[in-house]
Amino acid sequence: MKVVILAGLTPSTFFGHVALGTALRDAGHQVMVTASSDDVMPSIAAAGLPALPVMEPGMTRERIVAGAGLDGVPADPAERERTAGRWLAVIDTAPLPALLDFAGRWRPDVVIGGMQAYGAGLLAARLGVPYVRQAWDIHDPRLFDAGAAEQLAGELAELGLEGLPAPDMLIDFTPPSLRPRGAPPAQKMRWIPGNSQCRLERWMYTRGAGTRIGVTIGTTVADYDQYDYLQAIVADLAALDAEVAVAVPEEAAPGTRERLPGAHVGWIPLDVLAPTCDVLVHQSGGNTMLTALSAGTPQVLIPDPGQFRQVEMARRVAEAGAGVVVPAEEATGEAVAKACRQVVGDPGYAAAAAGLRREIEALPLPSEVVRRIEGLVRRRD
């Protein structure tokens, strides 16, 4: 079986595909992975998967969006998400001609696409092969989808479709108790973290006798405001007499270590860090959230109020009792430390997080899902 995976726009959207892509190759299938940004190619190759470049040289996401006449960011968070769906549709379908050219020579048997990889459904429809849509977080994509469908109305009409192509299989990582009401039927799959790895140091996978708190603010630490923000959080966490481990990209580590002399700092794979922590502080990113859930680690979530997706996912984790939400505009070092103290001091948070971990562990492994994809392809043949 030949499989092409469209992994989306960023390393974060790609990481959710690593376990299934690897399982497909381990089962003897040929796999090609591509993304709608050449920036993702190194992450794909580093994960041991074939990285297929399809973007024209110099074709950035900014140029693609500008060329489509899309500009302006709505103030309303829900409308902002619909607008993001339009942008993503334009960006992800830009390499479709190159993908069709590739597919004409390689002839895939199935197309797998991430939740925001809107080119995947169109590619599968044009090739007449099964389309598998795979989540990469616990977000309900309906607002994204509405914007994408509006943007792609012309392309969909050419295919005789009135809306986005319905997947032949929808793969979802969400623990059953966190699935929103009205969510479509899905093939469940256990979350296996696919984040980038590194040469480990002892402090990354071991902890002292006391409280250990993990902190990450995403994949970049770009300016002094972010350094100041991290410094304020770590300073207040130090008052809890806790060991603090801060995960940052390696290129940002020297400056961060200088500003945070009392903390462990470095590029720490989150699947290594999360199980060692009593609480993980982060910005409500989908991969980070699922990795903490799979480790049974309670969370302090700092969603951006303007990011509907982050707010909605963080709310569901908090309502399940596995975390505390601190809105970004209120996330002072003192407020984050207070939330950490609340989580560490109440064993109910750890119990709820452990329950969600057990739900995830009970879900089908990627190897089982591979067999169901094989059956999907056989039935289509």
pLDDT tops 90 at residue 17: yes
What would the CATH number be for the domain defined by 2-190+363-380? 3.40.50.2000
State the average pLDDT over residues 288-310.
94
Give me the pLDDT at residue 294, please.
97
Domain ranges for the chain: 2-190+363-380, 202-361
**Least confident span in 41-45, 52-56, 106-110, 234-238:** 234-238
**b/e per residue 144-175 (b: at least 16 CB within 10 A):** bbbbbbebbeebbeeeebeebbebbbbbbbbb
**Least confident span in 42-46, 64-68, 320-324:** 64-68
pLDDT tops 70 at residue 226: no
State the average pLDDT over residues 173-180.
94
pLDDT tops 70 at residue 61: no
In three-state form (DSSP H/G/I as H, E/B as E, the rest C), the secondary structure along the chain is: CEEEEECCCCHHHHHCCHHHHHHHHHCCCEEEEECCCHHHHHHHHHCCCCECCCCCCCCCHHHHHHHCCCCCCCCCHHHHHHHHHHHHHHHHHCCHHHHHHHHHHHCCCEEEEECCCCHHHHHHHHHCCCEEEECCCCCCCHHHHHHHHHHCHHHHHHCCCCCCCCCCEEEECCCHHHCCCCCCCCEECCCCCCCCCCCCCHHHHCCCCCCEEEEECCCCCCCHHHHHHHHHHHHHHHCCCCEEEEECCHHHHHHHHHHCCCCEEECCCHHHHHHHCCEEEECCCHHHHHHHHHHCCCEEECCCCCCHHHHHHHHHHHHCCCEEECCHHHCCHHHHHHHHHHHHHCHHHHHHHHHHHHHHHCCCCHHHHHHHHHHHHHHHC
pLDDT tens-place string over residues 314-334: 999 999 999 999 998 998 889
Task: Kindly report the pTM of this predicted structure.
Answer: 0.92
pLDDT tops 80 at residue 14: yes
Same fold yes or no, 2-190+363-380 and 202-361: yes
Q: Please, which pLDDT band fits residue 76 given cuts at 50, 70 and 90?
A: confident
pLDDT tens-place string over residues 332-365: 889 999 999 999 999 999 999 999 999 999 999 9
What whole-number percentage of the chain has pLDDT above 90? Answer: 68
**Mean of per-residue pLDDT scores for the chain:** 90
pLDDT tops 50 at residue 224: no
Class of domain 202-361: alpha beta
State the average pLDDT over residues 3-22.
94
Q: Please, which pLDDT band fits residue 63 given cuts at 50, 70 and 90?
A: low
**Least confident span in 168-172, 253-257, 283-287:** 253-257
Give me the pLDDT at residue 12, please.
87
* Contact present, 216 and 282 (Cβ < 8 Å): yes
pLDDT tops 60 at residue 222: no
